[in-house]
A and B are shown apart, each in its own frame.
Chain A
Amino acid sequence: MAETATAKPASAVALSDVSIGFRLAGGGSYTAVAGATLHVADGEFVSIVGPTGCGKSTLLNIAAGLMPPSAGRVDIFGAPLGALNRQAGYLFQADALFPWKTALQNVAIGLETAGTPSTDARTQAQTWLTRVGLGSFGDRYPHMLSGGQRKRVGLAQVLIRDPKILLMDEPFGPLDAQTRQIMGNLLLDLWSADRKAVLFVTHDLEEAIALSDRVVIMSAGPAARIIGDWRVPLARPRDIGEIKLDHAFHELHRDIWHMLKSEVIKGYALMEGV
């Protein structure tokens, strides 16, 4: 991989033959992901889709540097990742806002930690809140916001730091269908402004196709592998609601679903077996 990396522009995220194992309390070990290789080019929007428990979130944590892989290597823009991935912003599935900070403070904190003066950070935070449609909600605490609004604040919190890579772990999972669609469009809108590399984890194939340039399919765990890699040939800019009516969308969905279905069934069978 290193040879090709020098030849062409390095991938934003390059996972090479990554395996992840956990030591079990009983003494054995569990292999969650086995030999996953995945490249995300700069400016590319890649989704990982897989059945529940296949280790796709773990893969994201590896790319974020929150945990090291058991084997394999991780390169970020051609440089091996040792510790935390400083070039990445991470949008979590669960609520990750600081409950004791207002929306504005939550957004501003990402700049303040980097040493930006407080007043400056606040002005920028206000701009970002407005950009995600929450301009007048700056003084609300997270518990006063709806789930969708919290995700918007989270998005602003991550994007204000202008990360080169955006890692998203089923960020819209807990939201209702309408809100998901609105959030998806908002995300595409913000993304198209400066095209960061995005690694987006979801279990929703429709969402993955609608958003991405590439959809990567993982098999059911344990020892989950990457079993499919599909390019999405749909034109941008896209509207998530409308694109789902597109003929090409349907064909792609049918093809990928065909492959995914058997894995989903396998995944459930395994879970019930436990």
Chain B
Amino acid sequence: MPRTHLILLQSLVAVIAIAFWYALSTYPVFGHILLPPFFFSTPLDVASQIVDWFSTGVIWKHLWVTLWESILAFLIGSIGGILVGFWFARQPRTAAVFDPYVKMVNALPRVVLAPIFTLWLGLGIWSKVALGVTLVFFIVFFNVYQGVKEVSPTVLANARMLGMSERQLMRHVYWPSALSWMFSSLHTSVGFAVVGAVVGEYLGSAAGLGYLIQQAEGVFDVAGVFAGMFVLAAFVIVIDTIVTLIEKRLLVWRPLASDARP
């Protein structure tokens, strides 16, 4: 399918969905408005809210806060995940000792930690970063751990026969293998960094997209809630596109990088 064709069809889906939304929230069907604007708002109200945010410029501050929290959560979580993942993979005994605790913490719904982080770190960005870190860390950790563990035995034997020392094995074999696993989960981990930030904001904050949505919800401003969701969705798509570009660059050696996503 040609690219223009595809984009045309993709836009058509949005147009039809919005048209239905508009029709059902504006015109009565058999005397009933199926999507009452109080609960579902209307496309026009949502659009005007979004335009309003961008024209007055209030949205930029919130977007910036959410972006910054996501970036910090991703970086800290990734670095932690890489370090611990490597450590556990190379020290099976340590891994065995900590195994039940890792599983326990990972099984915990992270949302319940949000109030604790707020208590510890306050209403600023760090409580959101912390929440994002708990999500990102485990994804990166499991992938790096797997990446180090699942190095092909043949490649490893070959590396040894080629005279690699333990340090060279680390650099030329374990490290690239772990990174490739980590990058293949990049979409998931970046996504979770954003989720952590937004959920954290939603549960208690003074700025960010989650805060915006929560504020609108508090005053039954459904148009505001929807507008916030649309901005958030667009934000995620932009980030995801950037991640795809980075991934393509970093995983050139892979048969089809996009197929390797979990």
Q: Which residues of A contact B (CB under 8 A)?
A: 64, 66, 84, 86, 88-90, 92, 94-102, 109-110, 113-114, 141-143, 157-158, 161
Say whether B158 faces chain A, with CB atoms less than 8 Å apart.
yes
Q: In the complex, which of the residues A64, A86, A89, A96 contacts B154, with contact meaning CB atoms closer than 8 Å?
A: A96
Say whether B261 faces chain A, with CB atoms less than 8 Å apart.
no
* CB <8 Å contact, B160 and A99: no
Question: For B255, what are the chain A residues with a Cβ–Cβ distance below 8 Å?
Answer: 143
* CB <8 Å contact, B254 and A90: no
Task: Give the distance in Å from the alpha carbon of A110 to the alpha carbon of B172 in the complex.
Answer: 11
* CB <8 Å contact, B163 and A113: yes
* CB <8 Å contact, B254 and A143: yes
Task: Give the distance in Å from the alpha carbon of A96 to the alpha carbon of B161 in the complex.
Answer: 11
Given that A94-B154, A98-B155 are contacting pairs, would A141 and B252 also be in contact in the complex, using a CB cutoff of 8 Å? yes
**Chain A residues touching B, majority SS:** loop
* CB <8 Å contact, B168 and A99: no
Which positions 165-183 of chain B face chain A at CB distance < 8 Å? 165, 168, 172-173, 176-177, 180
Given that A95-B154, A99-B253 are contacting pairs, would A90 and B165 also be in contact in the complex, using a CB cutoff of 8 Å? no
Q: List 24 A-B contacts (CB under 8 A).
A: A66-B157, A86-B163, A89-B161, A90-B161, A92-B154, A96-B154, A97-B155, A98-B159, A98-B176, A99-B155, A100-B176, A100-B253, A101-B253, A109-B162, A109-B172, A110-B163, A113-B162, A113-B164, A141-B252, A143-B254, A143-B255, A157-B162, A158-B161, A158-B162
Given that A141-B253, A143-B255 are contacting pairs, would A66 and B154 also be in contact in the complex, using a CB cutoff of 8 Å? no
Looking at the assembled complex, report how far the CB atom of B82 sits from the nearest CB atom of chain A, in whole angstroms: 16
Top 8 nearest A-B pairs (CB, nearest first) are A96-B158, A141-B253, A100-B176, A90-B161, A94-B154, A110-B162, A143-B255, A96-B154
Task: Give the distance in Å from the alpha carbon of A112 to the alpha carbon of B195 in the complex.
Answer: 44
Task: Give the distance in Å from the alpha carbon of A66 to the alpha carbon of B165 in the complex.
Answer: 14
Question: For A86, what are the chain B residues with a Cβ–Cβ distance below 8 Å?
Answer: 163
Question: For B159, what are the chain A residues with a Cβ–Cβ distance below 8 Å?
Answer: 98
Which positions 196-249 of chain B face chain A at CB distance < 8 Å? none
Q: In the complex, which of the residues B161, B163, B173, B253 contacts A143, with contact meaning CB atoms closer than 8 Å?
A: B253
* CB <8 Å contact, B161 and A64: yes
Looking at the assembled complex, report how far the CB atom of B144 sits from the nearest CB atom of chain A, in whole angstroms: 15
